[in-house]
Structure 1
Amino acid sequence: MSSLMEEQVEVLSARRMAWLRFRANPVAVVGALMVASVILAAIFAPLITTFPDHVGAVIDFRNKNAAPDAVNWFGTDKVGRDVFSRVIFGFRVSLLLVLGVLAIAVPIGAGLGLLAGYFTGWVETLITGFTNVMLAIPPLVMALAVGNVLTPSLTNAMIAIALLWWTWHARLVYRVSKSVAAEDYVEAARLAGASHLHILFREILPNCIAVISVKTTLDAAFIILFGATLSFLGLGVQPPTPDLGTMVADGRQLLPELWWGVVAPGFAIFYATLGFNLLGDGLRDMFDVEV
C-alpha cells in the first residue's frame, strides 16, 4: 500500500514539475494563449463576428473594396463581404483541416511505429522500408497530385495532406518504441506472460505520448500552412467557404491599393502558426523530449 502511494506521489510530483517548467516559460504561455484565442474564435465565430452571413455567397457591391473602418475592421473584399468575419470563420476551416489530418495520420503513424519498434525481423524491415520510401516523396508534390485527381474540397485536402503526414509520426514513434522495448520492465512483462497487445498499449505506448503530443502540436502549424498553400493554388477549400489561403489568393489580385485583402488573412495564418509553434516548443521543454 505504501509503495503504491509513493508511486502516485512520484507521478504527481513529475507532473507538477513539468507544469512548473511550462509555466515558467513565458514564450510557451504566450503560445498557449494564442492557440486558445484561435480555438475560441473558431468556436464562437457566429457570436463575435459582425457579419456572420458573409461567410456564404453574399454580394454587396455598394460596399465592395471598402477600407478598414469602425464597422468593417479589416475592410471588405471585391464583392463587399466583411473580411474580419471571413477571417474568423477561416480559423474554423483551418482547425477542421488540422483535426482531420491528425485524426488520420497520428493513429496510422503511431500504430506502424509501435509495431516496427516492438517486433523485429520482417515486420520491422517492411514498415521502416515502406516509411522511408514514402518519406522520399515531396509532400507538396503528392498533395498537388492528389488535389488534381480529386475534386478540390476540405475533405480531399485532408486526404491529400494525410497521405504522407503519417510517415513522420511513424518514424518518431518507431525511434521511441524501439528504445523502450529494450527496457528491463518490458522484458519482465514479456517473461511474465503478458500479451503483445498489453506490452504495446500498456508498457510502450504511454512512454510515447509525450513525443506524440509535442509532434502533433508542431504539426498543427505546418498543416495550417500546407492547407493554405493548397487553397492558394485552388486545390483546397472552394469558395464561397471562407479559407485563409483562398482569401490571400483573391486579395493579391488587388495589390497594392487594396492591401487589407492580403494582410488580414496573411496575418491570421502567421498568428495561428506562430501560436502552435510556440506552444509546441513549450511542450517539448516541459516533457524534456526530442522531436
Structure 2
Amino acid sequence: MSAKNLPQTAAEADIETGLPLDSDAPPLSAGYMTWFRFSRNPAALVGAFIVASVILVALFAPLIATHPDHVGAVVDFRNRHMPPSADNWMGTDKAGRDIFSRTVFGFRVSLLLVIGVLGISVPVGSALGMAAGYFGGWTERLIAGFTNVMLAMPPLVMALAIGNVLEPNLTNAMIAITLLWWTWHARLIYRVTRSIVSEDYIEAARLAGASHLHILWREILPNCISVISVKTTLDAAFVILFGATLSFLGFGVKPPTPDLGSMVADGRQFVPEMWWEVLAPGFAIFYATLGFNLLGDGLRDMFDVET
C-alpha cells in the first residue's frame, strides 16, 4: 500500500477496518501510519519473527543446546555419524558431536560476525557518504574516487587474500569483510545526501548560521536513517552468507568453534549417506538469511525508500 492510500485520520482508518466512523477523530501520527504499512505486509511480519527467533536462539544458546559441551574441542568417536535420534535431534558429525547444539551456537557466531562487520561498515560508510554529498568539491572527488577503487576489487577475492595472510578466526573474518563492505553504504548515503542538500530547509539552516556539523547531524542524518535501516537489514543476510562462504572455503572461523559454513564443509564429504550433517547447518543459513531479507523488504516498503 502506498503512502497516498494510507488512512490520514482515525475516521478513514475506520473505513479500512469496518469500525464505526468518528468524524471528530484526530489525525493519525506518522509512527502509526508507518506501523500500519508494516503490519499489512505478511512477509515482513514473518521476517521479523524469523530474525527475532534467530536472535533469541543466539542469546540463549547455552540453555537451548542439548549438548553444550560439544561446542568446544570434544570428540566422541563411538557416536560419530549417528543419525537423528531422541538424544541427538539432528544427528552427530564425524567427531561424534551433537549437530543441533553446534548449529544453535553457530547462530551466535553468525550474528557476532554481522554485528562486527556492520557495526564498523555502516558508521564509516555513512559518514563518508554524507561528507562527500554535503561538501562536494575536492572532498567529493577524493571520497568518491577511493570508493570506486575499492568497489573495483572483487569482495570474495579480497577476503580470501586477507584470510590467506591472517590466521583464520572470527576477528580476521570480520576484518576481511569490513574492508570492502563500507563502500556500498558510502555510495548509497552519498546519493541520498546529494538529494537532501538541495532542499529548502538545508538552505534555511545555513542562513540561520548552523554549523556544518549541526546540519550533518541534525538535518541530514535523520533523513538517512530509514535508508540506513533498510540497507543494514538486507546486508545482514549477505554478511551471513559471505561469512559462511569464507568458512566453507577454510578462511573463516577456525575449528572447533561451531560455524555454519565450516559445518557444511565438514559434512559435504559424507553426503548423501550422512545427509543430516549438512542439512541442519545449511537450513540454518537459509533460515537466517531468509528472515533478514524478508524483514529488509518489509522495512523498504514501510519507509517507501530505494536502496
Q: Is TM more than 0.5 here?
A: yes
Letter of the 1:45 counterpart: A
1:52 and 2:107 matched: no
1:169 and 2:174 matched: no
- Residue in structure 1 matched with residue 166 of structure 2 by the alignment: 150
- Residue in structure 2 matched with residue 20 of structure 1 by the alignment: 36
- Residue in structure 1 matched with residue 241 of structure 2 by the alignment: 225
**1:109-167 CA distance string (max 9 Å, x none):** 00000100100211111111111111111100110111111111100000000000000
1:202 and 2:188 matched: no
> Which structure shows the higher helix fraction?
1
- Residue in structure 1 matched with residue 268 of structure 2 by the alignment: 252
- Residue in structure 1 matched with residue 199 of structure 2 by the alignment: 183
TM-score normalised by length of structure 1 = 0.95
- Residue in structure 1 matched with residue 231 of structure 2 by the alignment: 215
Shift of 1:212: 0.3
Shift of 1:13: 1.3
**1:51-95 CA distance string (max 9 Å, x none):** 001100111112111000121111000111000000000000000
2:48 to 32, 47, 68: 32
Q: In 2, Cα distance between the equivalents of 1:177 and 1:15?
A: 23
- Residue in structure 2 matched with residue 284 of structure 1 by the alignment: 300
Q: How many residues align?
A: 282
Q: Structure 1: any 5+ residue segments left out of the alignment? A: 1-8
Shift of 1:261: 0.6
1:128 and 2:144 matched: yes
1:268 and 2:302 matched: no
- Residue in structure 2 matched with residue 67 of structure 1 by the alignment: 83
1:111 to 115, 127, 151: 127
**1:38-60 CA distance string (max 9 Å, x none):** 00000000001110011001111
TM-score normalised by length of structure 2 = 0.91
- Residue in structure 2 matched with residue 100 of structure 1 by the alignment: 116
| Structure 2 counterparts to residues 224-243 of structure 1, below 5 A | 224-243=240-259
Q: Which aligned segments of 4 or more residues in structure 1 are displaced greater than 6 angstroms?
A: none
Q: In 1, Cα distance between the equivalents of 2:75 and 2:150?
A: 44
What's the RMSD between the two structures over aligned residues?
Answer: 1.0
Q: In 1, Cα distance between the equivalents of 2:152 and 2:40?
A: 39
Q: In 2, Cα distance between the equivalents of 1:61 and 1:276?
A: 37
- Residue in structure 2 matched with residue 4 of structure 1 by the alignment: none
- Residue in structure 1 matched with residue 14 of structure 2 by the alignment: none
